[in-house]
Structure 1
């Protein structure tokens, strides 16, 4: 007998059971949402160990399962300044434990999670090498990252995600993430070899944006209202029509939308945080999105170096459960921490609220943001309209990319056995007419084609 206690936010999937019969209902949810829900995998007999659980295992059999952690919302009223101090002490303690005296590799963006880490690492006087990347022929996404690194005194490396990188890396992606996310997302595979000489350990900011914000709903939102919010949040563009086509093709009982809603309802009801809709939705996302979507592509970082993820730490999850919602809403806690530890970082533009920084972002509304909005409109119309904005543009558009994509969609016998070629043709034709609208579906078709080929080879 073996006892396993899973983290509240697992860094990786732990599988149990054999790979035998395809779980077609689970694959339909993957097709619609981009991730597998709960313990689902591609196979009926194989499951993933759930977050925050204590399992007793007998080989590949689960003997017993109990809760090791249950999400809750018990806010302790205290001054905001005290909460900031508590967060600072906890955050810095976790980072110190995770990176120690090793050289840190820090991915930066123009958002708040990595900026909060930069403030902590600079305050702790760690040896840091920062980097950021942007798409070839795309917007200058590294602009604010470079400024953050300069303020902190970190060496900085700008990287470019090249056009068409996907095709020479596709087998590598599949072997690392097991086809558990579609292939437009792990663009870091294009630069991962450059990490080799940059440092010893990653410090990654994943999930901070969920833990340290509200869910943009009224606290008193009804249970049914929360189900409706989550139902629409989980779906990707054209996800329902795609899943319904597969559901019908595979002759599954009932209908897809009802099945997905039932799964969401059951998952949300099991959480049971009646005093805060925001906390309950945050808990749902942490139980379902974090381990089955966000964490999947952590495997690319882990393939190269050890990882530290301060927001994934069990203590951080427990801390969040004690913080009043009004302190989390609008990212107030992280903003206050950055101002406390490095005011110069707070003066750099917050990308989501351009052109305002952390001292003035509340001005991002009419009439104060009108000049910038007019400038952005003119700039887009005249100069930047043709710049690459989305991953799929560099991966799927253009003659060379289209040739590779069609080979995977139309010249893979194993894929033809899994999905009716007429379904593939229908959605790919839609993509040719409306790229953005159908990009998720086409990327998922590609992922399933690679999965089918790997399955047939085993």
Structure 2
């Protein structure tokens, strides 16, 4: 027998066999189509499950799950402490985690224009760690690298800039399918574009994933508990996702209707979280079901180059969050205060979500103060469009737009016989809607159909 203890937020999916028929779990795949990730312990197969988070699991010698018991449950137990005390505790804990994760190694730090990696940069600079930082920007999009370069310079880090070019995905599809096993859609892991460059670097990755969830309000102010189900569904279902899932449900002639089944699944999982505070409860739901099945899946791309560390995933950080009053977590207060206190120079650099403002001025990011920037930015995008240089904002635009991309896409979707898993009329319906109706809405269904087609192709080749 084998005993496996999973972390509070696992960075890897660990699978086990269960006693069920070896057939496709088509209901689970419909949820995957709607959201871009599998829910709870679901996989493509009924007899294969992912081990739950924060659990002790016993497997027999054949890999079958015998028993699974939780060793931790998310809770909300706010202590009666001042904000200053909470900040002091966060500072000590965060810097301890960073130090332990990179005791004897060089650090590879992805830098964005946000707060999570900037918080890591503060700690790494204080600890005098040798760091190679990098940023990437879309070709023809906002220069995220511009902010990252300023942060790196202020910290004394080496810096590399990567430009994510159109069509990078097509020659890398098979490699990506092997890395993430088709458990996430294919248009989001832009790090795949520079995987070979990653391999040339030296050190361990320090990744800032999930900081924006732990260190912000979980739900909008004034949210009632009875509102959470609709809020969750709105957050996790992608544009066009419900339509694709419903189409698959009907084509596979599954009992009932998809939306009712989906709502019942989410409601059941939500009811298991024994937290009264709606904001903390929503954060717990995301950390239980979104982080390990969406965010963690594509961490495997980084890991294909070098080992990874995730300070915000640390069990101690999750336990700490459960004891911090919501008002201190809301609106990124702790991270902002930490950066301003420990490295004011980084706090003065533009915060991408509130550009052109920084951590001292972002509260001015509202009308009428931000009108000049918003108008100027809109005019720049319109001028680029008129010159035939569209402003790239989303990863799918690099993969699906343009003649060369379209040829590769059609080859993948229509160049193989996917029946009875996916019918050509269903694929054609969503492809045509993307081309002629609404590219933004139907980009997600197209990405999911591509992912499912790749999974089916991998399965066929294995057999």
Specify the alignment match of 1:151 in structure 2: 154
Aligned match for 1:403, one of 407, 422, 444: 407
**Once the 2 structures are TM-superposed, how far is the Cα of residue 416 of structure 1 from its aligned partner?**
2.7
CA contact (8 A) 2:58 2:65 kept: yes
Specify the alignment match of 1:419 in structure 2: 422
CA contact (8 A) 1:41 1:48 kept: yes
Matched, 1:326 2:327: yes
Aligned match for 1:68, one of 62, 68, 71: 71
Residues 278-317 of structure 1 aligned to structure 2 (within 5 Å):
278-317=279-318
Aligned match for 2:38, one of 29, 36, 39: 36
**Once the 2 structures are TM-superposed, how far is the Cα of residue 23 of structure 1 from its aligned partner?**
0.5
Residues 218-297 of structure 1 aligned to structure 2 (within 5 Å):
218=221, 221-222=224-225, 224-274=226-276, 276-297=277-298
**Once the 2 structures are TM-superposed, how far is the Cα of residue 212 of structure 1 from its aligned partner?**
0.2
Moved more, 285-294 or 54-63: 54-63
> Secondary structure of 1:196's match?
helix
Specify the alignment match of 2:340 in structure 1: 339
Aligned match for 1:447, one of 412, 436, 451: 451
Aligned match for 1:192, one of 173, 176, 195: 195
Q: Where in structure 1 are there 5+ consecutive unaligned residues?
A: none
Matched, 1:135 2:142: no
> Kindly tell me: are residues 218 and 135 of structure 1, through their superposed partners in 2, closer, same or farther at Cα, counting changes over 3 Å?
closer
Matched, 1:79 2:93: no
The number of residues matched between the two structures is 455
**Once the 2 structures are TM-superposed, how far is the Cα of residue 369 of structure 1 from its aligned partner?**
1.6
Question: Structure 1 runs of 4+ off > 6 angstroms?
Answer: none
CA contact (8 A) 1:218 1:277 kept: no
Q: Deviations over 1:60-108 (max 9, x none)?
A: 2222221111000000021111111100110011111111121100000
CA contact (8 A) 1:10 1:51 kept: yes
Specify the alignment match of 1:371 in structure 2: 372
Q: Distance in 2 between matches of 1:265 and 1:232?
A: 13
Aligned match for 1:123, one of 115, 122, 126: 126
Moved more, 208-217 or 249-258: 208-217
**Once the 2 structures are TM-superposed, how far is the Cα of residue 219 of structure 1 from its aligned partner?**
5.6
Pairwise CA RMSD: 1.3
CA contact (8 A) 2:16 2:59 kept: no
Q: Distance in 2 between matches of 1:13 and 1:395?
A: 27
TM-score (norm 1): 0.97
Q: Where in structure 2 are there 5+ consecutive unaligned residues?
A: none
Moved more, 141-150 or 374-383: 374-383
Moved more, 175-184 or 226-235: 226-235
Moved more, 32-41 or 370-379: 370-379
Moved more, 122-131 or 56-65: 56-65
Q: Distance in 1 between matches of 2:195 and 2:342?
A: 31
Q: Distance in 2 between matches of 1:77 and 1:368?
A: 37
Q: Deviations over 1:214-265 (max 9, x none)?
A: 023246612x311111111110001111100000000100110011101110
> Secondary structure of 1:305's match?
coil
CA contact (8 A) 2:381 2:391 kept: no
> Secondary structure of 1:362's match?
helix
Q: Distance in 1 between matches of 2:135 and 2:121?
A: 13
Aligned match for 1:106, one of 92, 104, 109: 109
TM-score (norm 2): 0.96
CA contact (8 A) 2:218 2:281 kept: no
**Once the 2 structures are TM-superposed, how far is the Cα of residue 6 of structure 1 from its aligned partner?**
0.6
Q: Distance in 1 between matches of 2:379 and 2:112?
A: 25
Specify the alignment match of 1:23 in structure 2: 25
Q: Distance in 2 between matches of 1:127 and 1:369?
A: 38
Specify the alignment match of 1:12 in structure 2: 12
> Secondary structure of 2:163's match?
strand
Q: Distance in 2 between matches of 1:216 and 1:293?
A: 19
Q: Distance in 1 between matches of 2:451 and 2:193?
A: 17
Q: Distance in 2 between matches of 1:258 and 1:376?
A: 42
CA contact (8 A) 2:246 2:258 kept: yes
**Once the 2 structures are TM-superposed, how far is the Cα of residue 164 of structure 1 from its aligned partner?**
1.1
Moved more, 382-391 or 419-428: 382-391
